[in-house]
Amino acid sequence: MVPLVKTLLSLSLVASLPAAAFADPKPRNARPAPVDKVIGAYAGKTDLWEQDCGGGIYFSPNNQVRAWCAENSENMAAGTWTVSADGTLCQNLTWYYPQGNAAGSSAAEPLCIQHVVNGWGVMYRSWPGSTEWWPVTSATSTLKRGYVFQSDVDTAKNKLGL
């Protein structure tokens, strides 16, 4: 089961990258995004993992997260999210998966995404180890209003006995 969990953890990072948007270098005159702007962009929304996984991660307004991938539909993840003063959003997930007659679990490494705003107030995000910056706007974002995969997460959670 551990290789499956490592695959899911890798997918959660790679699948988060927007497929339709084009990356930019770090914006000129970029400054850390205000905490309330980052929270406003994520709270109550699902970030779709469009590449490979067919799932996503939901950021609840109470700082809880839930994640799910269609290709491993019996698995789900739960955890928390925070935003630091420098506009960095960190998510801490534990993945749960079938293991015999019980649920196995594996904590993922925290994933922290940097956010900056340019001189016009447009927010961009960049993943760890990347030099590319992705705009977080309604036209280019993978963030969709609501808990898109709630029934899928609930189904997996019930099957796992959580």
Distance, in Å, from the CA atom of 136 to the CA atom of 16, rounded to the nearest integer, reads: 13
Segments making up each domain of the chain, as ranges: 2-157
Tell me how crowded residue 90 is: count the other CB atoms within 10 A of its CB.
13
So what's the pLDDT on residue 140?
63
So what's the pLDDT on residue 22?
59
So what's the pLDDT on residue 105?
96
Quote the DSSP letter at residue 150.
Answer: H
Distance, in Å, from the CA atom of 109 to the CA atom of 31, rounded to the nearest integer, reads: 26
Distance, in Å, from the CA atom of 69 to the CA atom of 74, rounded to the nearest integer, reads: 9
- Is residue 110 within 8 Å of residue 10, measured between CB atoms? no
| Ranges in the chain, pLDDT < 70 | 1-24, 138-140
- List, for residues 103-131, the tens digit of each pLDDT value: 999 999 999 999 999 999 999 999 999 98
Distance, in Å, from the CA atom of 155 to the CA atom of 162, rounded to the nearest integer, reads: 10
Closest C-alpha among 85, 89, 90, 56 to residue 70: 56
